[in-house]
Amino acid sequence: MPSFRTPAASGLARSLAGAGAVALLAARSLATALALLLAASVLIFAGTQLLPGDVATAMLGQSATPSAVAAIRAELGLDQPALLRYFAWLGGALRGDLGTSYATRQDIAAVISQRLGNTFFLAGVTAAIAVPLSITLGVVAVQWRDGPVDRAITASTRAAIALPEFFVGYLLIMLFALNLGWFDSSATVYPGMTLGARLWAVALPVATLVLAVAGHMTSMTRAALLNVLSAPYVEMAQIKGVSGRELVWRHALPNVLGPIIHVVAVNLAYLVVGVVVIEVVFVYPGMGQYLVDSVAKRDVPVVQASALVFAAVYVVINGLADLAALLANPRLRHPR
């Protein structure tokens, strides 16, 4: 006997199927993220163990006696096998205990929480400016493609991509800090600062990072839109007399959200993980500066903890981007 399904029942079934597909892909993304973090932890620990020299000798100096070196190694647990030290470190990290700094004897998790907040603030302000600016420039370039506006935007983005960010940072310091005196050469922030004071302090590093990431995001947005504009449904919309602005904003842009989200995610991950050079240039008290200082002092627990935090941030941002792209793609939400 044939069965009949009402439109409401059919819609409910499709919604449940779409929710199941989203949940399955989200579970796969979570499992992949955990596997990547585990692999990253192994590489981070192994990499720090393969560094030349001895931590205890570096702490005590070359004139240290063998008994003093042995005592320090026992105090730090360096006399135990590497495998046991890895599992002890990993277990502590899972509990939120990242260890104690060799150089300052401070709790690493407490220092990282403040430093990471500063890095997130710098990356967040940069993203709030760079993402909408890049998407808008990409759309404008496509609307006026092959014209003077498109050529100007393309040339500017290529120049921004070609210039190293540390070079741009030093140029901005020379122009706006040394010559004009509008800003300080170092981006000093501290607890208790007002939002306005913080924004003014990070103006130069934010400008440097915006120039570093906006060029890539703009060029990728433009390329994705040009690819979609050659699709048959866009040509049909043009035949029906849809205006160029509506064609780009209403018909083309929603269909390239997936690629744009991935490009934005890669650049956001760079803003958090790749700000080491910019933080050093502007002496900004973030995670990058903390990591560089710890490498110079051979503070192995801080290096391990910082690298693990960077890896976790990178994996989480990319996982969230995959989920956002999934939610933006109806074909994945509602499989046939």
* DSSP state string for 166-225: HHHHHHHIIIIIIIS-SS-SS----TT--HHHHHHHTHHHHHHHHHHHHHHHHHHHHHHH
Per-residue pLDDT tens digits for 190-222:
888 888 888 998 999 999 999 888 888 888 888
Is the model's pLDDT at 97 over the cut of 60?
A: yes
Model confidence pTM above 0.75 = yes
At 331, the amino acid letter reads R
Return the top range by mean pLDDT from 70-79, 80-89, 96-105, 117-126. 117-126
Helix-strand-coil split of the chain, %, nearest 5: 75, 0, 20
Task: Report d(CA 291, CA 289) in Å as an integer.
Answer: 5
At 123, the amino acid letter reads A
User: What contacts 24+ positions apart, CB below 8 Å, involve 186-190?
Assistant: 186/282, 186/283, 186/284, 187/282, 187/283, 187/284, 188/283, 188/285, 189/118, 189/121, 189/284, 189/285, 190/285
pLDDT recorded at residue 63: 65
Task: Report d(CA 261, CA 217) in Å as an integer.
Answer: 10
Q: Which residues have C-beta within 8 Å of that of residue 209, sequence separation ≥ 6?
A: 122, 123, 126, 130, 165, 271, 275, 278
Cα–Cα distances in Å, from 206 out to 61, 114, 259, 271, 328? 40, 19, 25, 10, 29
Provide DSSP, 105-131.
--BHHHHHHHHHHHHHHHHHHHHHHHH
User: Residue 173: which pLDDT band, with cuts at 50, 70 and 90?
Assistant: very high
Per-residue pLDDT tens digits for 249-295:
666 666 677 677 777 877 877 777 777 888 888 988 888 888 888 88
pLDDT recorded at residue 4: 47
User: Which letter, b or e, does each residue of 16-36 get, where b requires 16 or more Cβ atoms within 10 Å of its Cβ?
Assistant: eebeebbeeeeeebeeebeeb
**How many other C-beta atoms are found inside a 10 Å radius of the C-beta of residue 13?**
11
Per-residue pLDDT tens digits for 4-45:
455 544 554 455 555 666 677 777 778 888 888 899 889 988
Residues 26/30/35/38 CA torsion (nearest 10 deg): 160
Task: Report d(CA 100, CA 190) in Å as an integer.
Answer: 23
pLDDT recorded at residue 1: 47
Q: From the CA atom positions of the chain, what is the Rg in Å?
A: 25
Per-residue pLDDT tens digits for 220-255:
888 877 777 666 666 666 666 666 666 666 666 666
Question: Helix 82-94 vs helix 300-328: angle between axes, to the nearest 10 degrees?
Answer: 50
Local structure of 100: helix, strand or coil = strand
Bridge partner residues of 107 (DSSP): 100
Q: Measuring CA to CA, which residue among 261, 277, 275 is closest to residue 122?
A: 275
Over residues 56-60, the mean pLDDT reads: 64
CB distance 328 to 68 below 8 Å: no
Top-confidence residue, 50 or 124:
124
Residue 107, phi then psi, degrees to nearest 5 = -70, 120
What class is the 98-316 domain? mainly alpha
